[in-house]
Structures are given as structure tokens and as C-alpha cells.
Chains A and B, each alone.
Chain A
């Protein structure tokens, strides 16, 4: 069974559109994250979410918003997509500090 899953795996869309990427973990973890990996393979934390507490990396535009309908899901909504949003987005989860972070397979977003 997949521990952390993301849908879709690939997403191609036009500039200006609004899109969502879904993430689900079946591990019972308390904390979930979104990371962005750009075309140079650089990985950066975007958000962490734990028990309704959201911590946002200050460099993330407010067009990005995470939504957690329940503890097992943390979806990423992106409004008014821009070319620079093209990247691979990874969801991750962990039971807490000091434990392994389990990463999803990634969603490759291409904005045209």
C-alpha cells in the first residue's frame, strides 16, 4: 500500500488557471508538508501543517494555499498559475520531530 500518494502525477495547464494537487497519507502521521523542486533540482519547503497549525515559508507567494480537509490529507491549491510555478511538487508526512519524512512520488506541474 502506498504510504504517501499524490494526484495527479502530471499536470499541464495554461497560465492564469487555478489548479489543485492532492496528497493523502495513510500512516496516521500528524505533520504534513509541501516541497517544491525546481528545474535545477533545488528542493525547498513550502508549508508544514500540524494539527491545524500552518507554517508558511516566507518566500511562497500567496497564490499558493494548502487545505487540509482532515488529518490524512493536505491539498495544494494554486491560483493564477505562472510560468515560474512549473516544477515538481512533493508532499511528505512525518509522525513528528526526529522521525523520517515519508515523501510522495511527486507531481510534475508544467505551466504553458
Chain B
């Protein structure tokens, strides 16, 4: 089946930039998403990118997409303690049958 891969942990210092990487296998993906989950909470959509774009910026968030390599990244500038969460990459497989999620990257902020 289709697969989405991400590193399980990322540790950064407060104020630095965080870059969370994701690779996917489904070549028919239309949209790719980044979701944030804080401890004990639900899923919050952070941003998404259409597959024919290579970059999207939204305030402190920058998404880069390399469709050829099927590589997606999320950059968080000036990382704050409130950014501590699990970040999930997801793709739609080109349809509306549900998202395929990566295993989530735990972002750990060091003071």
C-alpha cells in the first residue's frame, strides 16, 4: 500500500528553525498536509500544499515540496515552546478516500 515516512523525533533549541521532513510514495497525491497534535488534544490542520506547487509560506511556516523526489518538508521559523507537539504529514492519495498519515514527528524544544 501507499506509505508516508517521517522521523519520529526532532529536538531543536528555542528560537532556532525546525525542519520536519516527510517522504511519500503515492504519485497520485493531489494535496499534502501538515497536522499538529498537542498532548491529549485532537488534530489541527497547520497547512497544506497542492501537488503542483513547490513552496507555500504562511507566517512562520514554510512548506517545500519536491514532487520528483516525493519529499515534503515543514519549516517552523523561530521555534517557540508552544510549538512542542507531534507533527503529522499526510497525503490524500489523489482522492477522497481518507488521508494516509506518517507516524508523526515529536518536536522537542530545548530552552
Contact = CB atoms under 8 A, between A and B. Distances in A.
Contacts of B37: 41
Nearest to A88: B42
A90 B42 contact: yes
B42 A55 contact: no
Interface residues of B, number: 23
B96 A43 contact: no
A50 B98 CA distance: 11
B24 interface: no
Nearest to A95: B96
Interface string A12-55: 00000000000000000001010100001111110110100001
B77 interface: no
Interface of A: 31, 33, 35, 40-45, 47-48, 50, 55, 57, 90, 94, 96-98, 100-101, 103-106
Top 5 A-B pairs ranked by shortest CB distance? A45-B98, A97-B96, A43-B101, A103-B43, A48-B98
8 contacts: A31-B96, A33-B98, A41-B86, A42-B103, A97-B92, A98-B92, A101-B45, A103-B42
Interface of B: 30-31, 33, 37, 41-43, 45, 48, 50, 86, 88, 92, 94-101, 103-104
